[in-house]
Amino acid sequence: MSILCVGSVALDSVETPFGKAERVPGGSAVFFTAAASLLSPVRVVGVVGDDYPDEALDFLAERGADLSGIEHRKGESFFWAGRYDFDLNSRDTLETRLGVFGDFRPKIPDSFRSSRIVFLGNIDPDLQHDVLARVESPDLVACDTMNFWIEGKRDRLVSLLEKVDILLINDSEARQLAGEANLLKASRWIQAHGPEMVVVKKGEHGAILFSEDGVFFVPGYPLEALADPTGAGDAFAGGFLGYLSRAGAVDPEHLRRAMVYGSAMGSYAVEAFSVDRFRELTQDEVATRVVEFRRMTSFEIPTEAPQHV
Amino acid sequence: MSILCVGSVALDSVETPFGKAERVPGGSAVFFTAAASLLSPVRVVGVVGDDYPDEALDFLAERGADLSGIEHRKGESFFWAGRYDFDLNSRDTLETRLGVFGDFRPKIPDSFRSSRIVFLGNIDPDLQHDVLARVESPDLVACDTMNFWIEGKRDRLVSLLEKVDILLINDSEARQLAGEANLLKASRWIQAHGPEMVVVKKGEHGAILFSEDGVFFVPGYPLEALADPTGAGDAFAGGFLGYLSRAGAVDPEHLRRAMVYGSAMGSYAVEAFSVDRFRELTQDEVATRVVEFRRMTSFEIPTEAPQHV
């Protein structure tokens, strides 16, 4: 199965306590594809200006990602500059220049329209609606969003939810969207508005899947050497949907594994600036980390529990 | 095996967005015992004034907790008043009156000195030293602390660590104690100063055990109805050590289960004010919640993983 991914293709300048990087590849579509392409074919739709170093994404094409849906336009690529605090949990945006992304209208190549899985990266909900209108009955539609759209285009976002199977969203944004501080209730609110499944991303604290199967937790992978958390959420989505695409099924057991692949991919995003950690990453390394997740979370319950004497 | 628990026996006045309670039983020793006594015999050492409603703790004695080490003195019991914010993650202390707890010198009854497991609740590290000096070679010494002692009695706390097998501590306090923002490195620092095991408590995000066996995560139990988070950390410690006491072994598999019992007991503390949720709590209810934890965290890895085609 192929995944259609629509999102930003950006240049980021990032400073963290552990280093800095200037004008390196970023954006939701790039992080998503860097992770998902290790597991599944991906078709990318986005836009770049004439300043974009296309060769920086060659490794994605070599891995089978179809980048023919990335439109090249005259002008500047979407640029974001940010700085992270000591604990990497809060960041300041130093500069945002939309460039050619400012009037981005996703153009879905005909050959992409039959994609079975669709990932609507964090872009204007109007554009997310447009993309869905142009794909033929996909099996699975997943969507990300952020506070900017929750505040600015709430109605369009809520009407989009009716067409979405899985919403991936940060914990604070899930609360904001639902107007509900309790995460269980917030996810129920979201599920009542469309998505059968809600993935709540909690950064270093992991992620929670709410579905008909109940609640499933995956922790964040404990890292000793962190570099830059930018893109971890999109890499999570890439691992999650990449796994489901590879598995070819969306049942409870596959969804659990997809969460673990998501968290593993999110951790790789944090280990280096930009998508650098994904360049040489192998499927074997990912499989090894997934086994580590199992070791970090599994426990047995003896049939005969010892009694209090 | 019996657990010796030394800590505060307090009266709390607590206000949360979900209600309030006036002068209700609280304190580290009370929350610890409320949880641990469901799983193991507990011997409690503390002090109360003549205003303490002793009958409020009768349910602990009925469950086999030995309260004969709670000294009764003329004067006021330790009193704490606090108010929690909307998200329950931050709280303001409105009032603290130490009362008879101000010059508390733990008196360990002779019959308690042979306890195999010792829990040093969050009190002055000097007193924690004193308690350890008065018990005969216990099998397992666990200890809690807080920022107040990390800042005010750092040297005494660090020298205590040499005698401690398990430190239970909040994530922010683990970072503060080690002077290290990275939690993996912080726990290594702590382990290098004595405790073979470190349990980092992260509130709603669960807890992490660092040990020779590696890293083990347990999530927080997702609650729809929260009342008051006061005492959740001490109830966690009670579930954790209560389980180990009942199991009579401290091997990796038992430690994992102990973490789950800890998180389960922490969740009960949050479900009601004071120790009210523990009054009627049964071992069967706890066992059912432990099974739910397994369901919320377990996943299988197929021997033959599907390949990317």
Residues B83-115: tens digit of each pLDDT = 998 777 788 999 999 999 999 999 999 999 999
One-letter amino acid of B100: V
CB A11 within 8 A of CB A52: yes
The single-letter DSSP state of residue A203 is G
Query: Is B216 in Cβ contact with A217 (below 8 Å)?
Result: no
Query: Is B205 in Cβ contact with A308 (below 8 Å)?
Result: no
Q: Which residues contact A110 (CB under 8 A, 6 or more apart)?
A: none
**Chain B residues near residue A60 by CB distance under 8 angstroms:** none
Determine the residue among A63, A292, A297, A309 to mutate to test chain B binding: the one whose Cβ has the most chain B Cβ atoms within 10 Å. Answer: A297
Distance (Å) from the alpha carbon of B299 to chain A's nearest alpha carbon: 6
Distance (Å) from the alpha carbon of A137 to chain B's nearest alpha carbon: 23
Q: Which residues contact B138 (CB under 8 A, 6 or more apart)?
A: B4, B115, B116, B117, B118
Q: Which residues contact A121 (CB under 8 A, 6 or more apart)?
A: A5, A6, A7, A8, A28, A29, A32, A144, A234, A237
One-letter amino acid of A201: K
**Alpha helical stretches, state H, A162-299:** 171-178, 183-192, 232-247, 252-271, 276-279, 283-297
Q: Which ipTM did the prediction report?
A: 0.93
Query: Is B206 in Cβ contact with A219 (below 8 Å)?
Result: yes
Residue of A182, A223, A301 with shortest CB distance to B294: A301
**Chain A residues near residue B217 by CB distance under 8 angstroms:** 206, 219, 296-297
Q: What pLDDT sits at residue A85?
A: 86
Q: Which residues contact B177 (CB under 8 A, 6 or more apart)?
A: B145, B150, B157, B169, B186, B189, B190
Residue of B223, B256, B296 with shortest CB distance to A217: B296
Query: Is A181 in Cβ contact with B87 (below 8 Å)?
Result: yes
Taking 50 as the threshold, does the pLDDT of residue B292 lie above it?
yes
**Chain B residues near residue A294 by CB distance under 8 angstroms:** 299, 301
Structure tokens at A34: 């860097």
Determine the residue among B200, B251, B297 to mutate to test chain A binding: the one whose Cβ has the most chain A Cβ atoms within 10 Å. Answer: B297
Residue of B226, B253, B299 with shortest CB distance to A257: B299
Residue of A184, A246, A308 with shortest CB distance to B222: A184
Determine the residue among B299, B300, B307 to mutate to test chain A binding: the one whose Cβ has the most chain A Cβ atoms within 10 Å. Answer: B299
User: What string of pLDDT tens digits covers the 309 residues of chain A?
Assistant: 899 999 999 999 999 999 999 999 999 999 999 999 999 999 999 999 999 998 999 999 999 999 999 999 999 999 999 999 877 778 899 999 999 999 999 999 999 999 999 999 999 999 999 999 999 999 999 999 999 999 999 999 999 999 999 999 999 999 999 999 899 999 999 999 999 999 999 999 999 999 999 999 999 999 998 999 999 999 999 999 999 999 999 999 999 999 999 999 999 999 999 999 999 999 999 999 999 999 999 999 986 555 554
Size of interface A-B (CB pairs under 8 A): 105
Helix, strand, coil percentages (3-state) for chain B, rounded to 5, are 40, 25, 35
**Chain A residues near residue B306 by CB distance under 8 angstroms:** 246-248
**Alpha helical stretches, state H, B166-305:** 171-178, 183-192, 232-247, 252-271, 276-279, 283-297
Query: Is B87 in Cβ contact with A184 (below 8 Å)?
Result: no
Query: Is A308 in Cβ contact with B283 (below 8 Å)?
Result: yes
**Chain B residues near residue A250 by CB distance under 8 angstroms:** none
